[in-house]
């Protein structure tokens, strides 16, 4: 009887450890960006009419399922480079679960496939509902395809220098555009331009997050943009991308983008300057400096995204139209 009780207790503890490891593997802290940027698109749609709550929830479910597919898939397909990475940070280098041997790699793959299947099912439901904007089906297909191929063969986009632009398109661009398109309104140039700061900022963020992983990536043949170009040239591109976020704001304002969205993004200039200073002074050199570089990049991107959302909500309250 005592042996049976101990066996049951071991199984309970084993089950809890497996669940905790799966949770870590999913890196759920990154889901916040999907909620904020999707809400930005919905806020842009609110300028043209009331929000359909059901459509909002369906689109958000698609975005979240696609994100989780990407998270679990990335850890599976990047397990060799993550194992070789001696400078993993909270924000880069994967979850660390598979290199630690806590879970079998194929479990991460199976969970990724499961979330991918869910995303495809949700995309089919959205298409069948027929109330979303014209072209929304194409956006959903592109989002799932690029998200999977970001790290999965045969394309492995992030291993051919295409990680930052791919993430910029999917996270910064398609996520808010899906949020807008789910509400069924017609597209406009002002709406598409409204997501441009998030697109450029996401490009810069992914480039910044590649610095802590560069040594391990290079050893395992994962040719990110930082590995391909070298640190010095990649720094120049990252600094240029941060500056571009603010350089385009006058153009966006002239093209009819909400004034408070523009003002909100402009308010993050001090954080952008801090990130540029961190890059220029060489905090990408040495393992100890890469953690601060990563979280400062994440902080800046979060600020740009939240400021854009807050500014758009203020534009909605003020009755600004696009």
The whole-number pLDDT of residue 286 equals 54
Residue 7 lies in a domain: no
Residue 13 lies in a domain: no
Residue 17 lies in a domain: no
User: Within a 13 Å sphere around the CA of 230, how many CA atoms are in the beta-carbon half?
Assistant: 2
Residues 26-47 have pLDDT tens digits of 999 999 999 999 999 999 999 9
Domain count, the chain: 1
Residue 9 lies in a domain: no
Q: Which domain holds residue 72?
A: 30-318
Residues 258-273 have pLDDT tens digits of 999 999 999 999 999 9
What does the chain come to in residues? 322
Residue 71 lies in a domain: yes
The whole-number pLDDT of residue 223 equals 93
Residues 56-86 have pLDDT tens digits of 999 999 999 999 999 999 999 999 888 887 7
Strand ranges (E), 84-123 = none
Q: What's 78-139 look like in SS3?
A: CHHHHHCCCCCCCCCCCCCCCCCCCCCHHHHHHHHHHHHHHHHHHHHHHHHHCCCCCCHHHH
The whole-number pLDDT of residue 6 equals 42
Query: For all residues of the chain together, what is the average pLDDT?
Result: 91
Position 318 pLDDT exceeds 90: no
Residue 14 lies in a domain: no
Say what percent of the chain tops pLDDT 70.
92
* Mean pLDDT value of segment 280-300: 76
191 C-beta neighbours (distance < 10 Å), count: 24
CATH of the domain at 153: 1.10.600
Residues 220-229 have pLDDT tens digits of 889 999 999 9
Position 13 pLDDT exceeds 70: no
Residues 142-167 have pLDDT tens digits of 999 999 999 999 999 999 999 999 99
CA–CA distance, 39 with 34 (Å, rounded to integer): 8
């Amino acid at each position: 009887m005592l042996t049976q009780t101990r066996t049951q207790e071991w199984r309970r503890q084993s089950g809890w450890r497996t669940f905790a490891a799966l949770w870590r593997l999913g890196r759920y802290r990154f889901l916040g960006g999907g909620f904020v940027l999707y809400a930005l698109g919905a806020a842009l749609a609110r300028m043209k009419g009331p929000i359909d709550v059901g459509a909002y929830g369906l689109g958000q479910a698609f975005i979240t399922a696609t994100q989780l597919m990407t998270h679990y898939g990335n850890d599976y397909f990047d397990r060799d480079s993550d194992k070789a990475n001696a400078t993993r940070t909270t924000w880069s280098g994967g979850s660390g679960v598979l290199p630690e041997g806590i879970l079998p790699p194929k479990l991460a793959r199976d969970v990724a496939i499961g979330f991918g299947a869910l995303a495809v099912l949700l995309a089919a439901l959205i298409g069948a509902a027929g109330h979303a904007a014209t072209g929304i089906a194409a956006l959903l297909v592109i989002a799932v395809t690029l998200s999977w191929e970001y790290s999965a063969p045969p394309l492995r986009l992030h291993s051919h220098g295409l990680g930052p632009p791919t993430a910029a398109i999917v996270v910064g661009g398609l996520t808010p555009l899906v949020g807008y398109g789910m509400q069924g309104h017609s597209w406009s140039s002002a709406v598409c331009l409204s997501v441009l700061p998030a697109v450029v900022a996401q490009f810069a963020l992914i480039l910044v997050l590649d610095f802590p992983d560069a040594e391990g990536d290079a050893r395992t043949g994962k040719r990110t943009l930082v590995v391909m170009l070298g640190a010095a040239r990649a720094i120049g591109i990252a600094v240029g991308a941060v500056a571009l976020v603010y350089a385009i704001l006058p153009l966006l304002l002239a093209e009819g983008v909400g004034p408070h969205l523009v003002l909100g993004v402009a308010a993050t200039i001090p954080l952008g300057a801090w990130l540029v200073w961190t890059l220029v002074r060489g905090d990408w050199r040495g393992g100890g400096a890469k953690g601060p570089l990563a979280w400062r990049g994440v902080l800046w991107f979060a600020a740009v995204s939240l400021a854009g959302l807050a500014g758009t909500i203020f534009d909605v309250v003020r009755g600004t139209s696009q």
